[in-house]
Amino acid sequence: MGVLMPEKTNSYLFSNDSPNIGSHLDRLGFGAIAERLAAAIVNQATDGGLVFGIEGPWGSGKSSLIARLEQTLKSRDDPPEIVNFSPWLIKSRDALLDALFEDLSTAIRRIATAAEEKNNAKKSKSKKAAKEIAEKADALLGSYASSVGRLAKLARIAELVVPGAALAGATLEAGSSFMESFGKPKEIVAQKERTATALRELNKRIVVFIDDLDRLEPQEAVEVLRLVRAVADFPNVIYVMSYDRQSVTHTLESTLDIENGDEFMEKFVQVDFRLPIPEAFALRRWFRDEVTELFSSQLLDAENSDQRDVARRLNEYIDSAGGRYLQTPRDVVRTLNALRLYGPSIVEQVYLPDLVWLQLVRSNDPELHKWVEAHVTVVAAIAGGASVSSDAEQRALDQLKKALASQDRKLEEVVWELHGILPGVDWDTDKIKHPDGWKLLNGLSDTRLRKWVTLRRLGSPHHFRYYFSLTKPEGVLTDARLLSVVEASTDAQNATESLRKILARPGEPTGATLDRFLDRLLALSSDELPASAIPALLAGLANVVDEASSKGGRHGLGVDWLAVEAERAFRELFKRLSPNDRMLVVKQMFGHGKAIGWLVGLLADDVYARGLAGEDSKGSHETFFDTEEFEIARSVLVVRLKNAGSALLDVPRLLPTLYGWNYLGDPSDVASWCKNQIESDAGLLAFLGKSRGWANATGIGVYYPLNRKNLSEFIDYDLAKERVERLFRHAEERDVRTRAKELLEAFKQGEES
């Protein structure tokens, strides 16, 4: 089929791949070509008819050229009669002849009608003669069609009219001279000669366009060639056929069992025109102009530095990937259609150059597109805390090579392009470890991924799904929702409420939601996250981290990863504040924040660096808070810990909190609190349940032991174990006995590990 170069009045309209006939959209020079071809067609002597071929590969614009040629012929002072014959719409090969003769008859009747109208207007005898000639030609054509139509197949007709025409390698010649020396129904031959004579006198050309010959089934294509060259070859009838020569010659060779389809094709087509290969620059310029119009609001503000950067990178991608993929007009149209589908609804959620690059790949290189989707999905999983197997990198590299091989390209041809677009595609000079020079799925730290997140790029774990499914990735906060939280955080209470709404998102683990929020928060620009909003956000964070960790934080390897991520976010945001704001935040967070376990952990580095955990610990850490900040945080936090009572059991990780309290304050206060908590049996069970550690062993998997060394810092280990054994044997409540049994197993695991 042909190529439509869409009207610029509405750049969001899809191209339906129909032929282009608008001269104002003639980007590939088809107008000038059509003018020359039209002159050649109408000036050609056609005593015995003519078959004219337009050759070009799939998608090269043959149908567009035919449409332009038809328009050019119609615009001439004495235009020929035009017939558009569409053999692929005809249900059977046997009906091809009837359909073609009916189209020719219709054209002749139009000639007769036009002659009559001119005769009525001018009372011209010559026009009357022209009408009579046309009517006579139509009648003779009808008789001839009726006679040959009674024969079963076109191959049989060709054999009767042209000796050997149904045989491979038969020599087909134009005109009637070859119809003399073989056995055939004399009446049919005579009818054809009378029809030819009448059409020769018609003094009016009929141009029959047969587009996309290569769309037909092999046998149908052969029948059409026989039909136009052996059965319906008449004076003043010019056939213009378009086809992919390689495809048609292959069809002839396979269907007729001949060796050289090119030579055989020459017996059917007297004049051929090979569509010129479009200049790569012209195709890219056309594509660039359409993209610029489609996304004008993202590109045309010359005063906006961000838009200038987007436009610069977009041009780079169009030159690199566009130069690789835009080989025909159809390639341009298909990619533009993909952008019209994917672009308008998500352009504000994605990075435009990456979107354009991906649609160039999607429309023209499906295997690489599949690999890219798999790669960014794995990147998102890793960013979310998942681990990958040791051989995952090599598998990904092998799959990339395979995808490139499907397009006969090598890794080095596109890998630098991928490096600039996707995280986790990096150069490595260690040729022993990475002989190809490239490594995948490495260095995917939150800090490194942040630049992809900030620009909403294809490699962003929070935006990649938009590029593939028009929707956001599962669990991802929209940019609008994220910014609304920032705007609503005018004080600690509002910030806390906003964060709790995020934590309450249905279908999402609480900790995972907060983790993603923090990652996105750090990726915001200073304009999106002004320093004035940070104090309230940090105060809100100090209210919800323990709650989120308890409900769904990541605790792999015994580490509260949510607390770690929250501390990382706190440190980065805290550094952006002025000294006065820092002090206000310290007083608010440590004096009132409900996440008391997390707050104790925030002071851990300073505890060690300042020697509070022993002189030997000084060199292993660096202070984060200045002395005044640390002392204020320490003093108010110790008071709160002393007054916490049993509420302290609600912290996600009890023993680290107790250790921190031990270093920050008076160890006797910690011992007193522990003694009070375990006085009752219920308190003992609760205390031990919150004091279990984390371990992983081959054959067992993850388990949660009670460690003698850790517990002995705060309670009498042996006495606690004896009390639990008594409860297991003698407690009346079944629930108590069940909990005691679990704890005894934890004691055992701790002693055996």
| 3-state SS, one letter per residue, for 13-74 | CCCCCCCCCCHHHCCCCHHHHHHHHHHHHHHCCCCCCEEEEEECCCCCCHHHHHHHHHHHHH
pLDDT band per the 50, 70, 90 thresholds, residue 276:
confident
The pLDDT of residue 698: 63
The pLDDT of residue 257: 84
Return the exposure string of 91-130: e unless at least 16 CB atoms fall within 10 Å of the residue's CB, then b. eebeebbebbbebbbebbebbbebbbebbeeeeeeebeeb
The pLDDT of residue 129: 72
With a pLDDT cut of 70, the percent of the chain lying above it is 82
Residue 662 is assigned to a structural domain of this protein: yes
Rounded alpha-carbon distances, angstroms, from residue 573 to 178, 534, 538, 589: 93, 7, 8, 14
End residue of a domain, out of 241, 274, 307: 274
Q: Is residue 38's pLDDT more than 90?
A: no
Amino acid identity of residue 50, one-letter, is L
The pLDDT of residue 505: 66
Closest CA to 45 of 174, 225, 132, 228: 174
What pLDDT, in 10s, does the model give residues 48-63?
678 888 888 887 788 8
Same domain, 66 and 99: yes
Which of 141-155, 234-248, 580-594 is predicted least confidently?
141-155
Residue that wins the pLDDT comparison between 19 and 727 = 727
With a pLDDT cut of 90, the percent of the chain lying above it is 31
Residue that wins the pLDDT comparison between 301 and 210 = 210
Residue 505 is assigned to a structural domain of this protein: yes
Within a 10 A sphere around the Cβ of 79, how many other Cβ atoms? Answer: 16
Which of 69-73, 141-145, 379-383 is predicted least confidently?
141-145
The pLDDT of residue 597: 95
Residue 63 is assigned to a structural domain of this protein: yes
| 3-state SS, one letter per residue, for 547-574 | HHHHHHCCCHHHCCHHHHHHHHHHHHHH
Question: Quick check: 523 and 536 in contact, CB under 8 A?
Answer: no
Residue that wins the pLDDT comparison between 278 and 179 = 278
**Cα–Cα dist 531/227, whole Å:** 81
Which of 417-431, 466-480, 511-525 is predicted least confidently?
466-480
End residue of a domain, out of 621, 646, 677: 677
Within a 10 A sphere around the Cβ of 647, how many other Cβ atoms? Answer: 10
**Cα–Cα dist 235/232, whole Å:** 10
Q: Is residue 291's pLDDT more than 50?
A: yes
Amino acid identity of residue 78, one-letter, is D
What pLDDT, in 10s, does the model give residues 335-347?
998 898 888 888 8
What pLDDT, in 10s, does the model give residues 568-607?
899 999 999 999 999 999 999 999 999 999 999 999 989 9
Ramachandran region of residue 645, left (φ > 0), alpha (ψ -120 to 50) or beta? Answer: left
Q: Is residue 5's pLDDT more than 50?
A: no
Mean pLDDT of 384-391: 73
Q: Is residue 554's pLDDT more than 60?
A: no
The pLDDT of residue 454: 83
Amino acid identity of residue 319, one-letter, is D
Same domain, 488 and 589: yes
The pLDDT of residue 168: 37
Residue 486 is assigned to a structural domain of this protein: yes
Closest CA to 195 of 160, 127, 187: 187
Residue 752 is assigned to a structural domain of this protein: no
φ and ψ of 745, to 5 deg: -65, -40
Specify the DSSP element, H or E, that contains 234: none
Mean pLDDT of 152-167: 47
Can you tell me whether residue 205 is helix, strand or coil?
coil
**Cα–Cα dist 679/677, whole Å:** 6
Same domain, 463 and 484: no
Cα 12 vs. chain centroid, distance in angstroms?
Answer: 18
Same domain, 198 and 328: no
Rounded alpha-carbon distances, angstroms, from residue 643 to 399, 636, 637, 638: 60, 11, 10, 9
Exposure on the CB side of residue 183, measured as CA atoms within 13 A: 0
**Cα–Cα dist 548/551, whole Å:** 5
What pLDDT, in 10s, does the model give residues 440-454?
888 787 778 888 888
The pLDDT of residue 48: 67
Same domain, 69 and 167: yes
Query: What is the tally of structural domains in the chain?
Result: 3
Mean pLDDT of 485-501: 89
Same domain, 498 and 418: no
Same domain, 238 and 265: yes
What pLDDT, in 10s, does the model give residues 608-641?
988 888 766 666 678 999 999 999 999 999 999 9
Q: What is the mean pLDDT of the chain?
A: 81
Residue 597 is assigned to a structural domain of this protein: yes
Q: Is residue 183's pLDDT more than 70?
A: no
The pLDDT of residue 173: 37
Please give the span between the terminal C-alpha atoms of the chain, in angstroms, as a whole number: 73
Question: Quick check: 312 and 351 in contact, CB under 8 A?
Answer: no
Amino acid identity of residue 211, one-letter, is D
The pLDDT of residue 567: 92
Q: Is residue 657's pLDDT more than 90?
A: yes
pLDDT band per the 50, 70, 90 thresholds, residue 557:
very low
Exposure on the CB side of residue 451, measured as CA atoms within 13 A: 8
The pLDDT of residue 171: 36
**Cα–Cα dist 658/664, whole Å:** 10
Closest CA to 496 of 472, 514, 516, 470: 514
pTM of the model: 0.62
Which of 25-29, 160-164, 286-290, 395-399 is predicted least confidently?
160-164
Say which DSSP state 459 is in. T
Return the exposure string of 347-384: e unless at least 16 CB atoms fall within 10 Å of the residue's CB, then b. bebbbbbbbbbbbbbbbbbebbbebbbebbebbbebbe
Same domain, 234 and 110: yes
pLDDT band per the 50, 70, 90 thresholds, residue 707:
very high
Q: Is residue 8's pLDDT more than 50?
A: no
Residue 169 is assigned to a structural domain of this protein: yes
Same domain, 483 and 463: no
Tokens linked to 733: 């409540």
Mean pLDDT of 6-22: 48
Same domain, 405 and 448: yes
Mean pLDDT of 480-498: 88
Return the exposure string of 543-562: e unless at least 16 CB atoms fall within 10 Å of the residue's CB, then b. bbbbbbbbebbbbeeeebbb
The pLDDT of residue 27: 66
pLDDT band per the 50, 70, 90 thresholds, residue 310:
confident
Same domain, 457 and 489: no
End residue of a domain, out of 677, 708, 727: 677
pLDDT band per the 50, 70, 90 thresholds, residue 152:
very low
Residues facing 351 on adjacent strands: none
Same domain, 488 and 579: yes
The pLDDT of residue 589: 97
391 by Cβ neighbours in 10 Å (0-12 / 13-18 / 19+) ranks as exposed
The pLDDT of residue 485: 87
Residue 725 is assigned to a structural domain of this protein: no
Most confident residue range from 12-16, 127-131, 332-336: 332-336
Which of 33-37, 85-89, 227-231 is predicted least confidently?
227-231
Domain that holds residue 671: 479-677
Mean pLDDT of 484-510: 80
Q: Is residue 271's pLDDT more than 80?
A: yes
Tokens linked to 222: 């052969």
Which of 131-145, 352-366, 479-493 is predicted least confidently?
131-145
